[in-house]
Amino acid sequence: MQPIRLISFGYLHLPTDPNGSPLPPAADRVEDVRDRLRDPAAARDILDLNGLNPRVQAVVLNTPGARDLLANLADYATLPAGPRRIAIGCAGGRHRASGLTELLARELRARGREVVVDHLHVHRPRVLKTTDAGASV
């Protein structure tokens, strides 16, 4: 069985199409968690950490709706004709997307799947706010 590739990314770091819409990575399923999961960066003690850190993963996992989403993604990924690529995006790619991607990778490995993880924006600077022109400051 071919490995499944999990990709975390930040919508605010993506290139855009001519209409200004972000272009997420190519995937069989793109999960936008910006409106589904509360931003854990509001918790001051994890503000400067990222989703590779177990503390951030714990905060993400305990966010309302995260466990159901994680279970849904894991079930989807283990379907007999399942996906080859799943991309998970949040605003900056540092907390929710990368944390959830790490949790999903752990779950899929526990189910016997080979997993490759790509974090596109986890190491980018934290996005503090966005101006009207879309530039972060």
Residue 134 pLDDT class (50, 70, 90 cuts): very low
Sequence-separated (6 or more) residues with CB below 8 Å from residue 96 = 33, 34, 37, 39, 40, 51, 60, 63, 88, 90
pLDDT tens-place string over residues 20-37: 999 999 999 999 999 999
pLDDT at res. 137? 36
pLDDT at res. 128? 64
Task: Find the mean pLDDT for residues 61-80.
Answer: 95
Beta bridge partners of 87: 7, 30
25-34, 84-93, 121-130: the lowest-pLDDT one: 121-130
pLDDT top residue among 52 and 44:
52
Report residue 49 as tokens.
């950490």
pLDDT at res. 126? 77
Q: Is the pLDDT of residue 14 over 60?
A: yes
Residue 48 pLDDT class (50, 70, 90 cuts): confident
Buried b (16+ CB within 10 A) or exposed e, 86-106: bbbbbbbbbbbbbbbbbbbbe
Helix axes 96-110, 54-61, angle to 10 degrees: 90
Report residue 124 as tokens.
């980018």
